[in-house]
Structure 1
Amino acid sequence: MLIEEILKGENKRLEFKEKLPSNEAIAKTVVAFSNTAGGKLIIGVSDDKKIVGIDEDKVFEYEEKIASIISDLCYPLILPEIYTQNINGKVVLVIEVFRGSMLPYYLKNRGKLKGTFVRVGSTNRLADENIIAELTRQRQNRSFDEEENLEYSLDSLDLKVIYDEFKKIGKSCNYEKLKNLKLIKTLGSQDLPTNSLLITLGKFDNSSIKCARFKGTTKEIFIDKKEFTDNLFLNLENTIKFLQNHLNLHAKVEGLQLKEELEIPLIALREALLNAIIHRDYTRNSDIKVAIYDDIVEIVSPGTFPNGLSLEDVISGRSELRNKSLANLFKELKYIESWGSGIEKITKVCKEKGVKFEIKEEPSFVNVVFYRKTSKKPANNQRKTSEKPANLTNQEEIIYNYLIDNKKIDVQKTQDLLKIKSARAREILSNMVKKEILEKIGKTKGSYYILKNR
């Protein structure tokens, strides 16, 4: 029932407006719903979920106006359902939008690059170039990892890494099998590696995993730090070892034997890592990060949920594959049993062991948090996670990632990093200052930039 949805509050698929909003506000929300997971814009409900209703005499006027707004301002054509519903004697107007098939949708007057919006949590966010490209691939039923890569030749790659993984489970693998898995594709008369093969072999810079053990509950002091830059199989194995080295073992008696268990179930950590590796967005210039604090373990995966999935969808076991070839490879290798089973496993084993865990979708990443048994859940905003500002351009994201590991950057370093001219480097840095991402230190030739509020 609609009242039950309203009582849950605004989310990825639900937005409230007490009064009829501006034309552009309506269009933004409709476009964002169409590009993401669909949803309902309800007029006559306040932000605090109070049903205030609308003037019944204006229902037909509102319906016609909204239909015209969507037709005039949105492209491609969006056909929502617009209807009223009586809730406790008050009438609300519902604009129900379904996820479209002609992605991406955008505001006509702004154009595709500046008018494409997506839904993140309960807000509409301007899509960056990466998201627009991903929406286009979804419309064409393609995935980034299945695309051919012209930068590498097959002769330069060690395919034995994958052959050996199949041997471990008693399966054979040959060149034709790799083609069937879309790790290799034929373009004209030439066989080329796909992005999934290069990602698997660790040839992409962002296919690494960064691990850190911090002292206390902040990032001020780290005890241990490792970066794993090998193939995905070794990265997974080494990350598991890192977690085992830094988490506590709890002993319990079973029969006549003393059995030791990791404080956070190993199967839950493994499934969370597999989800991050398989489902992350490899078009983003950032890597998976694993952080251990005194009170929590967090696993941060670049990119939001794929193909418009909501948090509720993920928890219920629904699965959408962003990286189809990569996912099929890991399934063939029996790293995963069935689609959508990972979160169910994590939920079940954590409940059995009394471990709290959360999944959070942020503007540019998904964060899985396990609460250590020796700690209490921290209050909201107690810790700054690895949150990255939303809607960074590719070049801004490279600068941001550089500053995560380095304290400052100047114009010359920006030129070298992005391989651009001085004027363009200054323009990008200036824009990041305007967005309040960076802070400029100094006004002379020796000036430099740091991350703001970090």
Structure 2
Amino acid sequence: MKSVVAFANGTGGKIIFGIADKTREVIGFDKEEVFKKMDAIANAVSDSCEPTIIPDITLRTVDGKTVIVAEISEGRKRPYYIKALGREGGVYVRVAGTTRLADEYMIKELMFEGSNRYFDQALCTGLTITDEDIDALCKAMKEQAVQNAHNEEQKASIKDVGRQQLRSWGVLIERDGKDYPSNAFAILTGNGGLHVTTQCGVFKGTTKAVFVDRREYPGPLWEQIDEAFQFVLRNIHLGATIVGIYRQDVYEIPPDAIRELIINAVVHRSYLDHGTIQVAVYDNRLEITSPGKLPMGQTVERMKEGYSKIRNEALAHAFSYMNLIEHWGSGIPRIIGKVKKAGLREPEFIGGEVDLRINIYRDQSNDTVDLNDRGSDLNDSNSADKVPGNISKVPDSADKVPDNTSKVPDNAIKMPDSEQEQRIYKYVLENGSITTNKVMELLNVKQRRARVILQSMIEKDWLKKTGAARSTIYLKNTEGR
């Protein structure tokens, strides 16, 4: 009965009667008793399980003997439990081919599924918000939507997001003319008691035995996504190729695929599970683990084919508005396509019963790049430009690594190591000088961050500062370089 309940709480399954458990020998049933056994099984399931489970019981012939197959379908009235044990102690689930007692988180997950509700749209108890908090979220989401727009036309079409929109998505809950925060509000802003963070780590070798670096990023979801994305880019190989007269940077894993994979984990994870999204860089792979079992009706195979099963509807609407996700369901097939186009093996999907782990394997065959062969392959041993053998590091304070590759003239002029500094220096070489406002526009960073980068370039003798206040400009330091 535990297995029956577990199958109903999961994706369904079959129980075969008439097979020896240990030896798998076909025992079978006599014709005289087989129908009595079928009735007994049906009655036991009906009497023992709540809500009612009706198995599909059939006879099969195996090795000339008759066995009974009881097929349990995926249930829609979850959670199912053994009546005598009650909901508190009688809910079972399938994990890695075994039947296990469900923990508190899993029971809550099943309850939301069974009532066709979403946890992120439920009221966030204990969180008090003000009008200023709501306005700040609306403003931040609009900024993200503009920042993530693909072109000027899309950017111009973005409308302000207001309270009514947040209510329709389930980010706000209106009661008696007053707005209250849902769990989605707390998750998006990083407030409330849900403690939503993203953990990132670099490991030596192919296991978690030896840490090289470890970070944990709290705060608004879009900041966690960006921090995790930058972390991965700082810790994978960056190669180069020559396209015409330009040098073009090429990451060993397509940045777009990395970013989409992190976004997918954030929007589709279970927030009932108190675990965290884990982004791990090993010598041979990038591994992203998302807490929680796959939603009811979803499988790894269907997910890879583009079938989307929304677990967090409010977050999905918010992410769609912010241009963080496009067409629902298209993310995973797009990631697979980009990874394969880069010459890497197809991403590996593991689990789905407790959590979902996706591996993108790094190309360790060689360290060279040739874009004349394909856009981002790492397979031309004759190329003069080598991917660094050591892990490329950028200071943790670095603000953004652009999704698009920057082009730097490949000549005798020495360039800064940081990609952001390269873009600034290239602009100075081509235009003679640069201002703080231009750096903010060029790198899409805030004023304080722009000044930090410029000051760093002055200290490294790349630039020199002239003028004061609004007349300040930055020139190439001809003495230092």
**SS at 2:201 equivalent:** strand
Q: Is structure 2 residue 279 aligned with structure 1 residue 290?
A: yes
Tell me by how many angstroms 1:194 deviates: 0.9
Task: Report matched runs for 1:278-317 at 5 Å.
Answer: 278-317=267-306
Deviations 1:273-320 (A, max 9, x none): 112101111122221111112122211111111125333332333222
**SS at 2:195 equivalent:** helix
Counterparts of 2:22 and 2:258, CA distance in 1: 37
- Counterpart contact for 1:106–1:117, Cα < 8 Å: yes
TM-score by length of 1: 0.71
Counterparts of 1:38 and 1:230, CA distance in 2: 38
Counterparts of 1:55 and 1:361, CA distance in 2: 36
**SS at 2:68 equivalent:** strand
Task: Report matched runs for 1:2-17 at 5 Å.
Answer: none
- Counterpart contact for 1:113–1:128, Cα < 8 Å: no
- Counterpart contact for 2:141–2:322, Cα < 8 Å: no
**SS at 1:60 equivalent:** helix
2:263 to 274, 280, 284: 274
Which residue identity lines up with residue 41 of structure 1 in the other structure? I
Cα distance, 1:269–1:44 mapped onto 2, change above 3 Å: farther
Q: Is structure 2 residue 364 aligned with structure 1 residue 364?
A: no
Task: Report matched runs for 1:211-360 at 5 Å.
Answer: 211-252=200-241, 259-356=248-345, 357-360=347-350
**SS at 2:219 equivalent:** coil
Tell me by how many angstroms 1:145 deviates: 0.4
**SS at 1:299 equivalent:** strand
- Counterpart contact for 2:121–2:183, Cα < 8 Å: yes
Structure 1 counterpart of 2:142: 163
Query: Gaps (5+ residues) in structure 1?
Result: 1-26, 377-454
Tell me by how many angstroms 1:364 deviates: 3.2
Which residue identity lines up with residue 242 of structure 1 in the other structure? F
Counterparts of 2:121 and 2:7, CA distance in 1: 27
Counterparts of 1:49 and 1:359, CA distance in 2: 31
Q: Is structure 2 residue 89 aligned with structure 1 residue 114?
A: yes
Range 337-346 or range 83-92, more displaced: 83-92
Tell me by how many angstroms 1:154 deviates: 2.7
Structure 2 counterpart of 1:75: 50
Counterparts of 1:49 and 1:189, CA distance in 2: 66
Task: Report matched runs for 1:51-62 at 5 Å.
Answer: 52=26, 54-57=28-31, 58-62=33-37
Counterparts of 2:254 and 2:66, CA distance in 1: 49
2:107 to 128, 132, 139: 132
2:40 to 65, 85, 99: 65
**SS at 1:306 equivalent:** coil
- Counterpart contact for 1:34–1:97, Cα < 8 Å: yes
Q: Is structure 2 residue 82 aligned with structure 1 residue 143?
A: no
Which protein shows a greater Rg?
Answer: 2
Structure 2 counterpart of 1:33: 7
Query: Gaps (5+ residues) in structure 2?
Result: 150-154, 367-481
- Counterpart contact for 1:263–1:373, Cα < 8 Å: yes
- Counterpart contact for 1:147–1:195, Cα < 8 Å: yes
Counterparts of 2:323 and 2:21, CA distance in 1: 46
- Counterpart contact for 1:34–1:105, Cα < 8 Å: yes
Cα distance, 1:209–1:140 mapped onto 2, change above 3 Å: same
Aligned-pair identity (%): 34
- Counterpart contact for 2:294–2:352, Cα < 8 Å: no
Counterparts of 2:293 and 2:71, CA distance in 1: 23
- Counterpart contact for 2:202–2:212, Cα < 8 Å: yes
Counterparts of 1:347 and 1:48, CA distance in 2: 40
Structure 2 counterpart of 1:96: 71
Tell me by how many angstroms 1:144 deviates: 0.8
Counterparts of 1:346 and 1:72, CA distance in 2: 47
Counterparts of 2:349 and 2:341, CA distance in 1: 18
**SS at 2:215 equivalent:** strand
- Counterpart contact for 1:213–1:293, Cα < 8 Å: yes
Structure 1 counterpart of 2:378: none
Cα distance, 1:277–1:34 mapped onto 2, change above 3 Å: same
2:175 to 175, 187, 195: 187
Tell me by how many angstroms 1:117 deviates: 0.9
Q: Is structure 2 residue 196 aligned with structure 1 residue 207?
A: yes
Which residue identity lines up with residue 275 of structure 2 in the other structure? S
Counterparts of 1:312 and 1:47, CA distance in 2: 29
Counterparts of 1:336 and 1:358, CA distance in 2: 21
**SS at 1:124 equivalent:** strand
Which residue identity lines up with residue 104 of structure 2 in the other structure? E
- Counterpart contact for 2:29–2:65, Cα < 8 Å: no
Deviations 1:213-237 (A, max 9, x none): 1223333433322221121111111
Counterparts of 2:256 and 2:365, CA distance in 1: 21
Cα distance, 1:86–1:268 mapped onto 2, change above 3 Å: farther
Deviations 1:361-399 (A, max 9, x none): 1653221122221179xxxxxxxxxxxxxxxxxxxxxxx
Counterparts of 1:49 and 1:193, CA distance in 2: 56
Tell me by how many angstroms 1:103 deviates: 1.3
Tell me by how many angstroms 1:88 deviates: 6.6
